[in-house]
């Protein structure tokens, strides 16, 4: 008697192919081999000789166990073929590592730097010309830069994107500090000049970070920018 473990088998055709393997050699039937063929099993290497007799197909049980990486056990007049679990038949595919910057992230990052540049240029020009800017204007610039930063966050799809996004966040935060500094000084003084603004180091950091980010995206690989921190 031949039995395939129903809980672990994955090849339904095995039972049909092997059902007659243990028929007695002297069964009284005239079984003349008609032709020989081969059996292959999807997902398994190798092949087995398939013998066709009187319209039926037969294969050696030992060969079948070898092809499927199964095990045979014998007890009394019972032979059991145990197949490996489905997840052991083939190795799990390895996830592909995405390297470099994605096109959408680079575009969103450039948009963010553009909104920050407009924000910064407006403040620097207002100080140079002694033309006051309102809090409403600063708030509008903040909202636009914040929107573009969110779009850049949504565009992150590679490891390099994820590494570079904090640099954009730091650039946004530094620009907000510059804007808050300007509004605080404007509130205290009606007249303002580049000398009493005192924003040189912060503005230079914002400019350097933007240039470094653009240069980095041109190489398509992440490189940390100290000026962005």
The CATH code of the domain that includes 160 is 1.20.120
Indicate whether 52 pLDDT > 70. Answer: yes
**In this structure, are 51 and 116 located in the same domain?**
no
Task: Report which of residues 39 and 191 the model is more confident about.
Answer: 39
Neighbour order of strands in the sheet with 33-39: 33-39, 48-53, 56-58
- Give the residue numbers spanning the domain of 149: 103-228
**In this structure, are 175 and 140 located in the same domain?**
yes
| Position 21 in a domain | yes
For residue range 9-18, what is the model confidence (pLDDT) as tens digits? Answer: 444 444 444 5
Share of the chain above pLDDT 70, in %: 73
**In this structure, are 35 and 115 located in the same domain?**
no
Q: Which of 85, 116, 134 is the last residue of a domain?
A: 85
| Position 48 in a domain | yes
Indicate whether 73 pLDDT > 90. Answer: no
pTM here?
0.57
- CA separation, residue 124 to residues 41, 63, 197, 207 (Å): 73, 82, 9, 12
Name residue, tokens 């540049």: 117
Q: How many domains does the chain have?
A: 2
**In this structure, are 37 and 142 located in the same domain?**
no
**In this structure, are 46 and 112 located in the same domain?**
no
| Position 94 in a domain | no
Share of the chain above pLDDT 90, in %: 38
For residue range 156-200, what is the model confidence (pLDDT) as tens digits? Answer: 999 999 999 999 999 999 999 999 988 888 877 655 666 656 667
Which pLDDT belongs to residue 69? 79
Q: Which of 57, 85, 113 is the last residue of a domain?
A: 85
Average pLDDT score over the chain:
78
Q: Where are the beta strands (DSSP E) in the chain?
A: 2-4, 33-39, 48-53, 56-58, 71-75, 78-82
Which of the residue ranges 10-19, 74-83, 95-104, 165-174 would you say has the lowest mean pLDDT? Answer: 10-19
Q: Which of 85, 113, 130 is the last residue of a domain?
A: 85
| Position 91 in a domain | no
For residue range 217-229, what is the model confidence (pLDDT) as tens digits? Answer: 998 889 999 999 8
**In this structure, are 185 and 139 located in the same domain?**
yes
């Amino acid at each position: 008697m031949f039995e395939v473990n129903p809980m672990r088998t994955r090849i339904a055709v095995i039972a049909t192919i092997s059902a007659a393997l243990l028929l007695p050699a002297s069964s009284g039937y005239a079984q003349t081999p008609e032709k020989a063929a081969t059996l292959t099993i999807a997902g398994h290497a190798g092949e087995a000789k398939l013998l066709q007799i009187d319209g039926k197909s037969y294969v050696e049980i030992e060969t079948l166990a070898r092809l499927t990486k199964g095990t045979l056990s014998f007890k009394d007049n019972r032979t059991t073929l145990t197949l490996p679990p489905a997840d052991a038949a083939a190795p799990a595919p390895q996830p592909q590592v995405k390297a470099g910057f994605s096109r959408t992230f680079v575009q969103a990052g450039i948009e963010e730097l553009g909104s920050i540049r407009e924000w910064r240029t407006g403040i620097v020009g207002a100080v140079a010309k002694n033309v006051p800017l309102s809090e409403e204007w600063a708030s509008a610039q903040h909202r636009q830069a914040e929107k573009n930063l969110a779009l850049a966050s949504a565009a992150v799809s590679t490891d390099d994107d994820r590494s570079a996004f904090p640099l954009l966040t730091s650039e946004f935060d530094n620009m907000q500090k510059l804007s808050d500094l300007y509004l605080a000084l404007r509130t205290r003084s009606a007249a303002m000049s580049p000398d009493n603004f005192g924003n040189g180091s912060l503005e230079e950091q914002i400019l350097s970070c933007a240039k470094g980010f653009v240069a980095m995206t041109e190489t398509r690989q992440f490189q940390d920018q100290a000026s962005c921190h």
